[in-house]
Chains A and B, each alone.
Chain A
Amino acid sequence: MQAELSIWRPLWDFAALLFVLGMASALTSRDRASWWVSQGLLLLSVVVGFAATGATHPGVDLFSLGIWVPIAWALSLLGPFRIPKPSPVSPTNHDGSL
């Protein structure tokens, strides 16, 4: 297991930093495209983290890691509330009616 942990250690750090950057990007995004990129980073961190865990700790179940996933995603949902909505070009319809 020690050898397995040594092999997978870079992936552990990779997953951890992806999680940090995903959270930071989600909470500071100013547009929807960036917010979706942050969701991708979070998803990547989960997949890489679960893969590393399954290899280095096969006897430990992943629940305590998995519980943080919905919490992180719930926090990242704060991001879209900060994104300003695009202002309409005209308050009227194309035919000029309200």
Chain B
Amino acid sequence: MMGEPLFDGVSAAIVLFGLISVLALRASVVDAEIIQRARKFDLAGHVLLGIAVSLLLFRWIDAVTDLSLEARPSFWRSGSLSTTCGIGLIAALKAVIAGTIARRVQYFVITAVSAVISLAIASAWDWALLVLAMLCSGLAVAQWCTTRNRISDDSLDDVESPREPVLVLGISAMVVLLLLGTWEHVITNEAQRKTRSSRYSAWPRATALRNAWERTGWSARTADDNSTQQVEDVAAREQWIALGLGSLLLVVAATACFRTRHAPTTLETDHAG
């Protein structure tokens, strides 16, 4: 149906390089007492981050140059969109790995502003206004909560709070790859659908999970005349992958929860010497 896939190897490389750069930058902060080692991790993290952003730009350039001259979008419009998205990606990475809470919030605001600008560049004004409205209301609520708790709560102190475990990052990447894979699968099989029912909506309902399970072809679609044996095999394999990843995610999350509850925090360790 589509000449160009939404998700390909470059997407996977962008996600993986971004994740590895997060881990390296995180390690540089954690091992800050060993200066040489911290510098190496910091350098490696920024190099990998540069590779991820470069791949993002390559992806756009490759997609645009594949088009015919008449169909090519405006150079400045697409270039500014890619640049804004790149800034937003770096800010989002910093929002996760920054050492202090105040800096995480600052970088998140930069990410949200980048999203608003990129949506505006793409002429999606309604979505841009939606993000802007959510950002303003969120900042207002956060300011109100901070003011209310300022006297009794010192949660905005610049206390370094390491994040772990790193495996959860990898599992999260698998979740998004599964999401994109599912989406790709739906788009590929969209042409096979003969009817469109109004009961299918973008928004979850009480029967959302069952409907999605049926629509993505993960269940055995015996009643569908268009489904071939090959499609059913692929669907069955995807179903097992989804189940495996879901189980793995639950196990890792439960393990992380258990370990965190029983492990002393950094402050406790420091106080204990």
Report how far A34 CA is from B72 CA in the complex, Å.
Answer: 41
Chain B 126-146 against A: per-residue CB contact (8 Å), 1 yes, 0 no?
Answer: 010011001000100010000
Q: How many residues of A contact B (CB 8 A)?
A: 64
Instruction: Tell me if B19 counts as interface (CB < 8 A to partner A).
Output: yes
Provide the residues of chain B in CB contact with A2, threshold 8 Å: 2-4, 67, 71
Chain A 7-25 against B: per-residue CB contact (8 Å), 1 yes, 0 no?
Answer: 1111111101111110111
Provide the residues of chain B in CB contact with A14, threshold 8 Å: 85, 88-89, 115, 118
User: Contact: B92 with A16, CB < 8 Å?
Assistant: no
Q: How many residues of B contact A (CB 8 A)?
A: 89
Provide the residues of chain A in CB contact with B3, threshold 8 Å: 2
Instruction: Select from chain A the residue with minimum beta-carbon distance to B142.
Output: A36
Within 8 A of A (CB), among B194-214: 196, 200-204, 208-209, 211-212
Instruction: Tell me if B122 counts as interface (CB < 8 A to partner A).
Output: yes
User: Contact: A24 with B186, CB < 8 Å?
Assistant: no
Report how far A37 CA is from B216 CA in the complex, Å.
Answer: 31
Report how far A32 CA is from B104 CA in the complex, Å.
Answer: 12
Instruction: Tell me if A6 counts as interface (CB < 8 A to partner B).
Output: yes
Q: What's the minimum C-beta distance from B47 to chain A, rounded to whole angstroms?
A: 18
Provide the residues of chain A in CB contact with B101, threshold 8 Å: 31, 33-34
Within 8 A of B (CB), among A23-52: 23-25, 27-34, 36-38, 40-41, 43-44, 47-48, 50-51
Instruction: Select from chain B the residue with minimum beta-carbon distance to A89.
Output: B152
User: Contact: A63 with B85, CB < 8 Å?
Assistant: no
User: Contact: A25 with B95, CB < 8 Å?
Assistant: yes
Provide the residues of chain B in CB contact with A28, threshold 8 Å: 163-165, 168-169, 256
- Which residues of A are in contact with B by a Cβ distance under 8 Å? 1-3, 5-14, 16-21, 23-25, 27-34, 36-38, 40-41, 43-44, 47-48, 50-51, 54-57, 59-70, 72, 75, 78, 81-82, 84, 86
Instruction: Give 16 A-B pairs besides A3-B67, A3-B72, A28-B164 with Cβ atoms closer than 8 angstroms.
Output: A6-B63, A14-B85, A19-B175, A21-B22, A21-B92, A30-B162, A33-B101, A33-B104, A34-B161, A37-B108, A40-B112, A61-B196, A64-B215, A68-B179, A75-B175, A81-B257
15 A–B contacts from the bound complex (CB under 8 Å): A5-B2, A6-B4, A13-B56, A13-B59, A17-B18, A19-B179, A21-B22, A41-B92, A47-B115, A47-B131, A48-B118, A55-B124, A60-B187, A61-B200, A84-B261
